[in-house]
Amino acid sequence: MWATNDDFHFVWKRLSGNLSLTADIEGLGAGSGASQRKACLVIRQSLRPDSPYVDVALHGSGLTSLQWRERAGGVTREVQSAVNGPNRVGIERQGDTFFMTLAPAGQPLQNSGAYTRVQLNDPVYVGLAVCAHDDKALETARFSRVALVQKETHPTDKVSYHRSHRGAQLVARWRPLHFQFRRADVSLAGCRWIT
């Protein structure tokens, strides 16, 4: 998951509109040991390897970053967080604006200050991904307390920011919806590990 194309394991749900995806991620590192292996929360335009996307990636080294590709076949860009190995990560979409949220140990989830703008047309693929960053290795990660929340979108909705000492924070009203992630015909309702 880098440069101009991606190769990873992905469970997803197709959705439209504004949303938030959060999860605790642990157990990353049982595979290759490559520092760039990663577990991600992903929003993609398509399932093509060169698809535009935005993700929040927790790397095997503890590095956490907001990564994105603006156009098919384009290069991947990133903003790296100063928070190393957070307990909980999140990605929020409001229109074409995407935010990274993080929870360091013992703290609540908060906006990291990192954001980007990428135009993705609805519906998008939203889900969980694991990448070994080594085509000879199989990587594992545990995603728990996964929460996918979709915002009711109104024609007058605009991205709104609130400035605090922690950086820009997205202010929006979210309503919880219950989703089951699926890949093809496999139900992941009871899934605890993705390999």
Q: What is the pLDDT of residues 4-40, one digit of tens each?
A: 877 788 999 999 999 999 999 988 765 556 678 899 9
- Decide if 147 is inside a domain: yes
Share of the chain above pLDDT 90, in %: 56
Structure tokens at 179: 């989703």
Q: Is residue 109 domain-resident? A: yes
Residue type, 171: V
**Span 82-131, pLDDT tens digits:** 999 999 999 999 999 999 999 988 899 999 999 999 999 999 999 999 98
CATH code, domain with 130: 2.60.120.200
The residue type of 10 is F
Q: What's the predicted TM-score (pTM) here?
A: 0.78
Q: Does a structural domain hold residue 193?
A: no
Looking at the domain assignment, is residue 92 inside a domain?
yes
User: Quick check: is 3 in a domain?
Assistant: no
Pairwise CA distance, residues 112 & 81, whole Å: 7
96 within domain boundaries? yes
Residue 1 included in any domain: no
One-letter-per-residue 3-state SS of the chain: CECCECCCEEEEEEECCCEEEEEEEECCCCCCCCCCCEEEEEEECCCCCCCCEEEEEEECCCCEEEEEECCCCCCEEEEECCCCCCCEEEEEEECCEEEEEEECCCCCCEEEEEEEECCCCCCEEEEEEEECCCCCCCCCEEEEEEEEEECCCCCCCCCCEEEECCEEEECCCCEECCCCCEECCEECCCCCEEC
- State the residue range of the domain holding 145: 9-184
Q: What is the rounded CA–CA span in Å between residue 116 and residue 96?
A: 8
Q: How many domains would you assign to the chain?
A: 1
